[in-house]
Structure 1
Amino acid sequence: LGYLRRFPVDKIKIDRSFIRDMGNRDTAAIVRSIIGLGTELGIVVTAEGVETERQLDMLRDNGCVEAQGYLIGVPSKAADIQH
């Protein structure tokens, strides 16, 4: 947490291990706290490893506006992405 004060942080990423285990009450509380912290500090929060609609819904319900993972799109090589 000290890094949030010492360095110019513009994004917080929630690791996929937390997203995968959001069904656990304690893990869900941690995820909500991270989203709340980012919101209060004006820092964008991105959830990594979103694979189910339920995970995405839980994140949205708690104010997370950025997500990445297989539900959103599969990883691709930059050369394969069309403009």
Structure 2
Amino acid sequence: MQRLPIAQLKIDRSFVRGLPDDVDSAAIVRATLSMAHDLGLRVVAEGVETDAQRDFLRQHGCDVFQGWLFARAMPAEELTVWLHAHTRARAGAPPG
């Protein structure tokens, strides 16, 4: 049995950028998601900046999203603070 030595596949932001309107980008992303899932791989989409991009990716089974729609790039030290604040907010607790 042939197996790739990877567990996940990343969709480059250059393909995400055109979603959902660019038919070529949409076709490449759908095919990539299908192939990756058929191989048992999780898929990460990078460069997600709009609700429409996220919605398209979610509708077609993307597993993980990265991009400015969720948070700006930040140093690791800031990430801990950001995660704490957003975890509390999602749980319904007041920030702080």
Q: CA RMSD in A?
A: 1.4
Q: Structure 2: where are the runs of 5+ without partners?
A: 85-96
Tell me how far 1:38 sits from its aligned partner. Answer: 1.0
Question: For this pair of structures, how many residues does the alignment match?
Answer: 79
Moved more, 5-14 or 40-49: 5-14
Instruction: Report the equivalent of 1:49.
Output: 47
Tell me how far 1:12 sits from its aligned partner. Answer: 0.6
| Higher relative contact order, structure no. (Cα contacts within 8 Å, ≥ 6 residues apart) | 1
Greater C-alpha radius of gyration:
2
Q: In structure 2, how many angstroms separate the alpha carbons of the residues matched to 1:6 and 1:60?
A: 26
Tell me how far 1:42 sits from its aligned partner. Answer: 0.7
Instruction: Report the equivalent of 1:8.
Output: 5
Runs of 4+ that moved beyond 3 A: none
The 3-state SS of whatever aligns with 2:69 is coil
Aligned mate of 2:37, from 17, 36, 39:
39
Name the TM-score, length of structure 1 as normaliser: 0.87
Name the TM-score, length of structure 2 as normaliser: 0.76
Percent same amino acid among aligned pairs? 44
